[in-house]
């Protein structure tokens, strides 16, 4: 069950309850300042109405920057919900055209040399099947990860340089067509500072906010208002620390030592370790789907080394220590109680 055996988050939830109880839209997390502007009341519901899932399946949409991101962030959650009968959709913003071959075994692969983008489409189709989810490409060009000092300009026409209204339009269209109750995306830092990840965050927030407003994004379908927005915490330091400690305790070497040492550094505000931007509010029990997650990751053969970091600790060991995937609830248009064990908490109950 996804909703049982859940440990309370020891970071404690950001206080939904600090907000006025009558507020129909709950700001949970930390927002960029321009995201706190009040929503116009005409498209803020007080309870699920037209988008009531009472007579239809629950739907979950995950927004990702590149093919492979869906397999490394929230994959077991998606597989678990799909197995429950939830309709799960992955939206991939770019084709990953500017990625490199990161698996040594694929470096001499002729297909990867000739048509990396084409091969990544095949990889994505295989990963989608492993998770049993739906998938759509949003059609933008990979921006690449700029490197050097000074950093080079981003390439003309890439996703990260698109005006927001243009970049978000395909996702708004998909939201209005697929009609998700819950959207998952990255935080404002993108999880790591790849320009496509930061842009994926921006378009997800824009779509969450705008898709329910019939006056916005005309020509992209009938308005649909998603009810909850989460940021994934795939690289939650607590998880890596728990896995690291368990390995050391068992007398084994830890592949996470270097990463954990980096977190011991202070951040720019003097927090030691660096303060997380958003706390964990929601943990999804999905350990039974770690093997499906790993198969999805390995489907991205050009991007993932099967002997690499992601597979350094086997699924069974991970399941014993941290059988969850972690999320921050950022906005909710339904009442919910934190911490949560279900992305649809407050949606199921409100309609029961
Ligand atoms: Zn990516």
pLDDT, tens digit, 9 for 90 and up, residues 24-71: 455 554 333 333 333 322 233 333 444 554 557 999 999 999 999 999
Distance of CA 292 from the midpoint of ligand 1 (Å): 20
pTM, to two decimals: 0.84
Which ranges in the chain belong to alpha helices (H)? Answer: 69-72, 75-84, 110-114, 116-131, 164-178, 195-210, 237-249, 257-263, 290-299, 315-321, 348-351
Distance of CA 148 from the midpoint of ligand 1 (Å): 19
What is the Cα–Cα distance from 288 to 266, expressed in whole angstroms?
Answer: 36
26 assigned to a ligand binding site: no
Distance of CA 197 from the midpoint of ligand 1 (Å): 6
What is the Cα–Cα distance from 196 to 98, expressed in whole angstroms?
Answer: 11
Confidence at residue 55, expressed as pLDDT on a 0 to 100 scale: 59
What is the Cα–Cα distance from 278 to 164, expressed in whole angstroms?
Answer: 24
Domain 16-28+55-233+327-351 has CATH 3.40.50.10320: yes
Distance of CA 119 from the midpoint of ligand 1 (Å): 16
Query: What's 304's DSSP letter?
Result: -
What is the Cα–Cα distance from 79 to 34, expressed in whole angstroms?
Answer: 34
69 assigned to a ligand binding site: yes
201 assigned to a ligand binding site: no
Distance of CA 196 from the midpoint of ligand 1 (Å): 7
Residue ranges for the chain with pLDDT beneath 70: 1-55, 266-276, 349-352
b/e map 305-318, b = 16+ CB within 10 Å: eeeeebeebebebb
Angle at Cα 56 formed by Cα 287 and Cα 80, nearest 5°?
5
CB 238 within 8 A of CB 283: no
CB 86 within 8 A of CB 59: yes
Distance of CA 92 from the midpoint of ligand 1 (Å): 10
Distance of CA 133 from the midpoint of ligand 1 (Å): 19
Q: Where are the domains of the chain?
A: 16-28+55-233+327-351, 236-277
> Strand 134-140 and strand 182-185: pairing?
unpaired
**Measuring CA to CA, which residue among 181, 240, 212, 229 is closest to residue 328?**
229
**Measuring CA to CA, which residue among 344, 134, 351, 64 is closest to residue 228?**
344
Distance from the Cα of residue 310 to its chain's centroid: 17
Distance of CA 214 from the midpoint of ligand 1 (Å): 31
Distance of CA 78 from the midpoint of ligand 1 (Å): 17
Distance of CA 219 from the midpoint of ligand 1 (Å): 29
Distance of CA 330 from the midpoint of ligand 1 (Å): 21
Confidence at residue 19, expressed as pLDDT on a 0 to 100 scale: 29
Distance of CA 352 from the midpoint of ligand 1 (Å): 38
Distance of CA 66 from the midpoint of ligand 1 (Å): 5
Q: Tokens for 98? A: 């500017």
What is the Cα–Cα distance from 94 to 200, expressed in whole angstroms?
Answer: 9
CB 181 within 8 A of CB 227: yes
**Measuring CA to CA, which residue among 154, 157, 159 is closest to residue 170?**
159
Distance from the Cα of residue 319 to its chain's centroid: 20
Confidence at residue 40, expressed as pLDDT on a 0 to 100 scale: 29
What is the Cα–Cα distance from 247 to 336, expressed in whole angstroms?
Answer: 36
CB 136 within 8 A of CB 175: no
Distance of CA 334 from the midpoint of ligand 1 (Å): 30
């Amino acid at each position: 069950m996804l909703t049982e055996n859940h440990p309370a988050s020891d970071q404690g939830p950001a206080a939904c309850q600090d907000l006025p109880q009558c507020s129909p839209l709950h700001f949970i997390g930390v927002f960029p300042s321009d995201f706190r502007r009040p929503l116009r009341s005409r498209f803020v519901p007080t309870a699920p109405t037209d988008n009531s899932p009472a007579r239809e399946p629950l739907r979950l949409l995950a927004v990702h920057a590149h093919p492979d991101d869906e397999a490394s962030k929230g994959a077991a959650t998606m597989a678990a919900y799909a197995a429950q009968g939830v309709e799960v959709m992955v939206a991939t913003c770019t084709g990953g055209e500017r990625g490199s071959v990161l698996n040594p075994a694929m470096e001499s692969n002729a297909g990867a040399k000739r048509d990396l983008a084409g091969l990544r489409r095949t990889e994505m189709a295989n990963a989608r099947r492993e998770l049993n989810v739906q998938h759509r490409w949003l059609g933008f060009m990979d921006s690449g990860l700029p490197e050097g000092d000074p950093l080079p300009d981003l390439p003309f026409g890439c996703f990260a340089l698109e005006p927001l209204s243009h970049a978000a339009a395909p996702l708004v269209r998909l939201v209005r067509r697929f009609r998700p109750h819950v959207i998952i995306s990255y935080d404002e830092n993108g999880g790591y500072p790849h320009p496509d990840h930061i842009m994926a965050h921006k378009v997800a927030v824009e779509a969450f906010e705008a898709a329910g407003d019939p006056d916005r994004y005309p020509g992209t379908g009938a308005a649909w208002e998603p009810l909850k927005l989460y940021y994934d915490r795939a690289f939650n330091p607590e998880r890596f620390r728990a896995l690291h400690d368990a390995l050391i305790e068992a007398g084994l070497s830890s592949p996470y030592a270097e990463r954990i040492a980096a977190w011991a550094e202070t951040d720019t505000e003097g927090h030691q370790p660096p303060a997380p931007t958003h706390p964990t509010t929601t943990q999804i029990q999905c350990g039974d789907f770690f093997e499906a997650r790993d198969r999805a990751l390995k489907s991205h053969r050009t991007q993932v080394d099967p002997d690499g970091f992601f597979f350094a600790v086997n699924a069974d060991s991970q399941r014993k220590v941290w059988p969850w995937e972690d999320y921050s609830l950022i906005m909710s248009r339904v009442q919910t109680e934190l911490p949560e064990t279900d992305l649809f908490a407050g949606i199921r109950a409100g309609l029961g």
